[in-house]
Amino acid sequence: FASLAALGDSSGDALLVNSATEGYSLDQKVRRIEDEAVVSSPDLILLEVDSSDLRVSGGGDSSRTNQVVEATLQRLNRRPPPSEDGWSWVLGQSRLASLLDGRVRALFRLGRGLPTRGAGAGESTVRPIDLLLGRETKAIDDAWRLVGADMDRVALAADRVGARVCVVALPLPAQLRRPYPRAAFQSRLLRLCRERGFLFVDPLPAFREARHAGARLYLPRLPWLSEAGHRVVAGQIRLELETPLAHESE
C-alpha cells in the first residue's frame, strides 16, 4: 500500500491523495498531484505528506521546510469543497467530515506499518509471524516508539505552520486481515494520536459505504507500478472495501 497514490471518485468531486513515495521530493510529489488533478479536476485535494518530508537533514535551517509545507497547502487548496452530492457529500456524512470543513489542511502519513528489518548491532527484528499472531515483543514495542518519534517531529512542524494533523489508517493488506488484530493495532495508534492532539480517522467504513452506493474506485496508473502490480493493489483495495473485517462482525 506504500505505492497507493489516490483513492477517490473519478468523476472528480474530491481526491484523496497518498503522496508518500520513496525517492521523490515534496515538490515532485506536488507536481505529480497537480498533473493528476488536471485529469480528474478535483474540487478538494487532501494531501498526505510523509513525515520524512518534514525532517531537516544535518540539523539545517527548518525555515525552508516550513515554507515548502505552507506553500504546498496553499497550492493544493484553492477552492472550497462543493456542496453537491458526490465524494464531498459522501465523506461529509461520514467520520471524515472534519477533513472537509476547512480546518484540516494537511494529512501527514505516519508509519507504513511496523518496520521489518534485519537485526543490526543491538537491534531486534520485527518478525511477520509475531504480527500475524498478535504477539507483543520488544522489537514491536521499539517499532511503536519509532512511530511515536515520527509523530513528535510532525507535531512540531505542524505547530509552526498552523496545520492540524490528521492520521489516516488505510486498510491493512488482505493477508493481515485475519488473524492479525486490526482493532488492537488501531487502538494503539489511536492512543499515540490522542497523546499528541492528532485527529485519527479510519476511512474504511466511509469508503465501503461509497462503494455500495455505486462510487467507482479511482486508482491512477503509477510509473513505479507494473500493470500486474497495479491490478494487485486495486484488487486488494476492492477486497478490503467489500469484505467486513473480523472485529466488525463480532
Q: Which residues contact 25 (CB under 8 A, 6 or more apart)?
A: 53
pLDDT at 140: 72
Q: Which residues contact 69 (CB under 8 A, 6 or more apart)?
A: 26, 49, 53, 54, 106, 157, 161, 163
pLDDT at 72: 47
pLDDT at 244: 53
pLDDT at 160: 63
pLDDT tens digits in sequence order for the chain, 250 residues long: 222 223 333 333 333 444 444 455 555 655 655 555 444 444 334 444 444 444 433 334 445 444 544 454 444 444 334 443 333 333 333 333 333 333 333 333 333 344 444 444 445 566 655 655 666 778 777 777 777 776 777 677 666 655 566 565 544 444 444 444 556 666 777 788 788 877 666 656 666 666 676 655 555 444 444 566 666 656 666 666 665 544 443 3
Beta strands across the sheet bearing 199-201: 6-8, 15-18, 45-50, 106-109, 165-168, 199-201
pLDDT at 142: 77
Would you kindly state where each structural domain of the chain is located, as residue ranges?
6-248
> Do the Cβ atoms of 160 and 150 come closer than 8 Å?
no
Instruction: Report the relative pairing of strands 15-18 and 165-168 from DSSP bridges.
Output: unpaired
> Do the Cβ atoms of 28 and 14 come closer than 8 Å?
no
Residue 248: strand, helix, or coil: helix
